[in-house]
Structure 1
Amino acid sequence: MDNTLKKEKTYKKLGFTYLETAEIVVALNKLLANYIVHYHKLRTFHWNVEGGDFFELHEQFEVEYNEAKLQTDTIAERIRVFGLKPKYTLQQHLGLADIKELQDDLAPLGMVKEVLKDFRILHDSLLDVLNAALDSGDTVTEEIVTQFMRRLEKRHWMFTAWSKS
């Protein structure tokens, strides 16, 4: 019995086998792809917002894309912790992401509604990672995702409140 346990340990990364983390890594790669596309849209909104809400939204879109930039790094590094490499081409991200690029210019309210739509998609993607982490007993990924969700839910509330003006 002791030999079996020792043999199993050689196949583990930080206490998890590759099989145990496979679902987490798949979900993390999808989350990463969603954040990459979301980041690009936020940069586009930041550069192109016009009108009476320019100063406020220009600043808030910058706050969001800076946060998305940090979150993509955290997600990619979490994938690396499991001994794998995150997806890294734009084509891979666009193919995996549920968040889609925009083809049309939007007015400020349309931009905020698009951000809110992306927040809902990100929230669903975060839940997928959370469920995979819970199934594997991965408390670190669970904590990371919970922190992301806490912030996302607050920002969703704030952008929703703004869009009612």
Structure 2
Amino acid sequence: MSNNTLELSKTKISKDRKSHARLGYTKLETAELVEVMNRLLANFSVHYQKLRNFHWNVKGADFFDVHEKFEQQYNDAKVAIDDVAERIRVFNQTPLSTMREYLETSEIKESGTDLTAMEMVGEIIKDYEILLEHMFSVIEMAINHGDSGTEDMIKGFVKQTEKNHWMMTAFSHNS
């Protein structure tokens, strides 16, 4: 095979392979990356609303500690939600964006307002475990598809989420 023929074959394969020429991912790779990011986005969004609910409705002796911590954590979640949604837009896709879509997709479920402060903390600890599972799925997919931008972003979320999990777990064991 001549060099010209080889170059034309590589070009054809490359064009067939790329769905988003600017990024270089196939349609399948793009769909898989966006799917796992949308699942993470949905879980983060329900988690965010749960944190706001708990922030507004916590009562009892632990009020000041828990109230402030929930606010800090929902502000962190808000930033993560925006980052994930914007990363999906980088792939020229539309992120999930309605509560209906979030609730249908999320493994994290809503909670009522009738929980004690420690029950709320327990719920948030479980949420962090679910979020971490989804983060690891996104990282695995990103690594498999050579998406270092998504991988790097989510690894930052993992670090913060693991720290929040540790802090909430330590707090819940002291009560």
Q: Do both proteins adopt the same fold according to a TM-score greater than 0.5, normalized to the shorter chain?
A: yes
CA positional deviation for 1:17:
2.2
Kindly provide the amino acid, as one letter, of the partner of residue 150 in structure 1: K
Pick the aligned partner of 2:163 from 144, 154, 158: 154
Give structure 1 regions of 4+ aligned residues with deviation exceeding 3 angstroms.
Answer: 5-11
Aligned residue runs from structure 1 range 66-81, under 5 A = 66-81=75-90
2:67 paired residue number: 58
Pick the aligned partner of 1:123 from 132, 144, 156: 132
Contact (CA 8 Å) 2:57, 2:113: kept in 1 or not? no
CA positional deviation for 1:52:
1.1
Structure 1 residues 19-28 or 73-82, which shifts more?
Answer: 19-28
* Structure 2, unpaired ranges of 5+: 1-6
Kindly provide the amino acid, as one letter, of the partner of residue 130 in structure 1: I
Aligned residue runs from structure 1 range 76-95, under 5 A = 76-95=85-104
CA positional deviation for 1:5:
4.8
Aligned residue runs from structure 1 range 5-154, under 5 A = 5=13, 7-8=15-16, 11-12=19-20, 13-103=22-112, 105-154=114-163
Q: Distance in 2 between matches of 1:111 and 1:75?
A: 25
CA positional deviation for 1:71:
0.3
Kindly provide the amino acid, as one letter, of the partner of residue 76 in structure 2: E
Figure out how many residues of one structure are paired with residues of the other and give that number: 165
Contact (CA 8 Å) 1:34, 1:93: kept in 2 or not? yes
Deviation string for 1:44-95 (max 9, x for gaps)?
0000111111111110000000000000000000000001000111101100
TM-score w.r.t. the length of structure 2 is 0.89
User: Judging changes above 3 Å, is the alpha-carbon distance between structure 1 residues 22 and 164 closer, same or farther for their aligned structure 2 residues?
Assistant: same
CA positional deviation for 1:16:
1.5
TM-score w.r.t. the length of structure 1 is 0.95
Which structure would you say has the larger Rg? 2
Deviation string for 1:130-151 (max 9, x for gaps)?
1110110101100011000011
Q: Distance in 1 between matches of 2:81 and 2:50?
A: 14
CA positional deviation for 1:103:
3.6
Identical aligned residues as a percent: 46
Pick the aligned partner of 1:4 from 2, 12, 15: 12
Deviation string for 1:9-33 (max 9, x for gaps)?
7633412222222111000000000
Q: Distance in 2 between matches of 1:162 and 1:134?
A: 34
Contact (CA 8 Å) 2:37, 2:84: kept in 1 or not? yes
SS at match of 2:100: helix
Q: Distance in 2 between matches of 1:147 and 1:163?
A: 25
